[in-house]
Amino acid sequence: MCAGWPAAFAATSDEVAPPDWGLTKDGGHIIHSSARVAWPRCVEGMQWTGQRCTGTALQLDHAEALAHVKAREKAEGIAWRLPHMKELQQLANQNAQPTPAGQTLLPTVGEGWCWTATTTINTPSFNAYSYNNVQRGLNGQNTRQLKFLHGWAVNTATGESHGDVLKRSKLTVRLVRPID
C-alpha cells in the first residue's frame, strides 16, 4: 500500500464541489457540467441581452426544427442538436431550483412545449377487441403507421412530456451542444 495515497487525494474540509449546473459569465448559456453540454438560455429566435431574452420565439413543426438545427450547425460550425426528452426534462427540473444568486436558469419567456429528438421505438401492444380502437377504426397495422406522425415534446415549465404530439404542430425549439 502507498502510505501517501489517501493524503494525495483527500479534500480539505473547506473545499466545495463545483455545481453541476451553472451559467456562463455572460449569462447567455446554461452549462451542465456532468453531461458536458451547453444550452442557450433563450429559445430559438430570441437573443440574450445580458438580463433577458428579446425577440420572437420561432414556432416550428418537427421537420422545420430539424432543418433549422442543420442550418445553424452549418452556419456556425458548432454541433447543435435537438435535445433528447430526458435531457430537456432534466433542464426543466433544474430550472425549478433557483441558482445560488436566486435566479432561474430559463427565463419565463422561454418556457413552454419544445421539440425533442426522441423517437418512439416500442409501440404498445394493440388490443383488437378494445371498443375505443374499434370505434376509431384502428388496427395493429395502422396504429404503428400513425406513430410516425408523432414526436416527443417537453414542457420546460413543468418537465411534463408527451410522445403523441403531431409533428406538424408548431412548437418552440431549444437547442443543445457539446462543451468544447
pLDDT tens digits along 47-105: 999 989 999 999 999 999 999 999 999 999 999 999 999 999 999 998 888 766 677 78
Q: Are 1 and 8 in contact (CB under 8 A)?
A: no
Q: Are 117 and 153 in contact (CB under 8 A)?
A: no
Residues 6+ positions from 115 with CB-CB distance below 8 Å: 60, 62, 65, 82, 151, 152, 153, 171, 172, 173
Average pLDDT, the chain: 81
Q: What's the topology of domain 19-178?
A: Mannose-Binding Protein A; Chain A (3.10.100)
Q: Which of 27-31, 33-37, 130-134 has the lowest mean pLDDT?
A: 130-134
Q: What is the mean pLDDT of residues 21-37?
A: 92
> Is pLDDT at 4 greater than 50 in this prediction?
no
Confidence of residue 112 (pLDDT cuts 50, 70, 90): confident
- The pTM of the full predicted model, rounded to 2 decimals, is 0.74
Provide the residue ranges of all domains of the chain, joining segments of one domain with +.
Answer: 19-178
